[in-house]
Structure 1
């Protein structure tokens, strides 16, 4: 695993040992940012809710986001995220939490944060995406021009719309589906 583009392009990232995480492959990671049509950012805040190795959030930092909040339930994953951030000297651009996704979202709601980019990449066996999209919508966790990137197994069905969140793009990469949601304005509804 490596950083694909930006300031840290080509730098290696450590993987989480064991089978509790399923890192996004470099090919899929590159495809996600191509689908976003966002090869670089001019600041902003991201949430990597099922962070695993931290690869997606670190890629976003490398491409110019200001800060990423990383969340994962596994202690090994948290340790690897911190190691990867330290190896790139970007720990000051991150918050790393060991927490379950639903509890993390509740804490984020209390902080009244709004994100330019949200990654939802849960282990395929633990899909709760529709519920989490509803929370993101109901509590306005997505900034006006923000995007939610959802990575699932190819057989996962998700709604095309959740409240004001509308599926903008959907692409299949073998066993992996990538969906990107955007926020529709109330005038468009």
Structure 2
């Protein structure tokens, strides 16, 4: 796995074998960043939920995002994420939080800015997307006009978005689906 665009293009990231951490495939990341475009990423404040390796947030930083906050509950994922941030020398513009996102999003209150771009890649088929979207919409951590990118199984029905979010795009890449939401005033 590697960074596919921006100033860190080609930089290899550390990964782990097995299915405990399921990084987003390079071709899916490339397609997503093509959909988002430069304007959505440049100078943005990024939130990477269920961050795993951190590839999505680091890709955004490589492409001009200002800062990124990475959140994952797994100690192994946090260790791998910190290793990848060090490999890419992105520690100064990153914050790492070990937290169970399924519980709540309370740690985001300590972050002084709202987020312009959110990546969310929860474990497939565990029913985490709808509650996390509801918490995100309600927590006050999202800027109006922010984009939320949710990676999920194509078989997983997302239902209607919570107030304040509008579904703006859906793409399928083999066994991976991606749904984009736009944040607006509820």
State the TM-score, normalizing by the size of structure 2.
0.92
1:111 deviation in Å?
A: 4.5
Give the RMSD, CA atoms, in angstroms: 1.8
In the other structure, the counterpart of 1:41 is 41
Flag structure 2 segments of 5+ consecutive residues without an equivalent: none
Contact kept in structure 2, 1:39 and 1:63, CA below 8 Å: no
State the TM-score, normalizing by the size of structure 1.
0.90
1:17 deviation in Å?
A: 3.5
Q: Following TM superposition, where does structure 1 have runs of at least 4 consecutive aligned residues deviating by more than 6 angstroms?
A: none
Contact kept in structure 2, 1:40 and 1:63, CA below 8 Å: no
Work out the CA distance in 1 between the residues paired with 2:69 and 2:104: 10
Change (3 A) 1:131 1:25: same
Flag structure 1 segments of 5+ consecutive residues without an equivalent: none
Contact kept in structure 2, 1:16 and 1:76, CA below 8 Å: no
Work out the CA distance in 2 between the residues paired with 1:166 and 1:180: 8
Alignment of 1:145-184 (within 5 A): 145-184=145-184
Work out the CA distance in 2 between the residues paired with 1:70 and 1:57: 7
How many residue pairs end up in the alignment?
Answer: 186
Work out the CA distance in 2 between the residues paired with 1:12 and 1:185: 39
1:137 paired to 2:137 = yes
Work out the CA distance in 2 between the residues paired with 1:30 and 1:160: 27
Alignment of 1:1-189 (within 5 A): 1-38=1-38, 41-103=41-103, 105-109=105-109, 111=111, 113-185=113-185
Change (3 A) 1:157 1:40: closer
Contact kept in structure 1, 2:148 and 2:180, CA below 8 Å: yes
Work out the CA distance in 2 between the residues paired with 1:134 and 1:80: 28
Contact kept in structure 1, 2:40 and 2:117, CA below 8 Å: no
